Amino acid sequence: MAALTPNADAADRKHPVDETLPPLKMFTSGLQHVAAMYAGVVAPPLIVGAAVGLSAKELTFLTGASLFTAGLATFLQTLGIWKIGARLPFVNGVTFAGVAPMLAIVDTTRDKDDALPIIFGAIIVAGLLGFLAAPFFSKLVRFFPPVVTGTVITLIGISLLPVAFGWAQGPVPGADDYGSAQNLGLAGLTLLVVLALRRFTRGFVKQIAVLIGLVIGTLIAIPFGATDFGPVAEADVIGFPTPFHFGAPQFALAAIVSMCVVMVVSMTESTADMLALGEIVDRRADEKTIAAGLRADTLGSAISPLFNGFMCSAFAQNVGLVAMTKIRSRFVVACGGGFLVLMGLCPMAAALIAVVPRPVLGGAGVVLFGSVAASGIQTLVKAGLEKDNNVLILAVSLAVGIIPISAPEFYHAFPETAKIILDSGISTGCVAAVVLNLLFNHLGKRRDADEVTAPMEPGGEISAQRTAGSSAEPAH
């Protein structure tokens, strides 16, 4: 019986994803996730609310509602109920993919008071349809081998880096201090603090290096006048996102179609993020997991308008945080979801997080988003790049995915509905990788022996592998 003890211990040992951490570590690590994604959650409601013409008080309300609903969606994703929720350390928040079509809805609505109810009605319908489609959408997972997932993960990181660079320059593009030496200096100092903590500390301090870097960067920014505490003083202590605060939802066909397209884009990106996170936490996201995760995304989106929130989706920047800190517990992210709910109920707490200057967020974002790209490269190492087919899949998919970053006006002549998809490098790169993998590795006879042709060889190491492999193969 003693010989069975080690196996029994192994069976009882929890996977790191399902482990709970000590309270202090849970608290600070969850707060770190909130700090990493806060700007991404509040940006869409601020942009859409300003387009509608909301007052400062109503903008604060709309922002708090987005934080509250992001917390609820994160609970669904991490803790899960029934077949809903991937049960991975997965943060959900307002997807930026919906901003452009929502602005288009605002522009085409005569009475701006009807704009938000029309948007909310379209999101409800899109969310419910997405919930029904989730199990069918998840069946695409078999078309995501390492060459596809590695390409998509790399594109996620590359696509997020411009966001960090924009934050580093300042909060308002076009302002006098945008891209100033002071803003870039604050971003650089924050980056150096994070790097120093990661290099010279150990254990818990090393794992919350980003949070410490944000705090130190904010303190350094105070003497330069880059930190504004005004919103904290003006915010209410307690507030609740009253259901249908802006009016009952309205259902317009054009708006529904537009948001359904956004939902498809969002589900594609979430699938890619789940595959990436599964690789990072060493718990593969299979078809069942992806279906459950998509149900959480879509149900969260359908519920969100009830509390005046927008469409919810996975936040790739938090995938980068998991990759960097190696803290894989989903309960840490659930704790972060709790903070989001509390901030939605306490506008003053939400305003306190908003004190962190945008350049400071940018400095930390370089590490976070770069870590995502690095995780993609690690996955590509296992992708069989000694095969010519896989090199072509990687090369073309990366090129297609980088188009919106390197040439933002490339699709300017396309219809607005098409640009919703084409302007997302993650979505276009993912589609390109899946289609090319299907074409080269699934349709017809698979050419497993295809190797990198001479012009593509990066060096002698692959040449040696190629020579060794060909000598071991039987003659045909």
Share of the chain above pLDDT 90, in %: 14
State the average pLDDT over residues 299-305. Answer: 92
pLDDT of residue 317: 67
14 pLDDT band, cuts 50/70/90, is confident
pLDDT in tens, 34-84: 877 776 677 678 778 877 877 767 777 888 888 899 899 999 988 888 889
pLDDT of residue 460: 44
Res. 467: pLDDT tops 50: no
SS (H, E, C) the chain: CHHHHHHHHHHHCCCHHHCCCCHHHHHHHHHHHHHHHHHHHHHHHHHHHHHHCCCHHHHHHHHHHHHHHHHHHHHHHHCCECCECCCCCCCEEECHHHHHHHHHHHHHCCCHHHHHHHHHHHHHHHHHHHHHHHHHHHHHHHHCCHHHHHHHHHHHHHHHHHHHHHHHHCCCCCCCCCCCHHHHHHHHHHHHHHHHHHHHCCHHHHHCHHHHHHHHHHHHHHHHCCCCCHHHHHCCCCCCCCCCCCCCCCCCHHHHHHHHHHHHHHHHHHHHHHHHHHHHHCCCCCHHHHHHHHHHHHHHHHHHHHHCCCCEEECHHHHHHHHHHCCCCHHHHHHHHHHHHHHHHCHHHHHHHCCCCHHHHHHHHHHHHHHHHHHHHHHHHCCCCCCHHHHHHHHHHHHHHHHHHHCCCCCCCCCHHHHHHHCCHHHHHHHHHHHHHHHHHCCCCCCCCCCCCHHHCCCHHHHHHHHHHHHHCCCC
Least confident of 95-99, 189-193, 260-264: 95-99
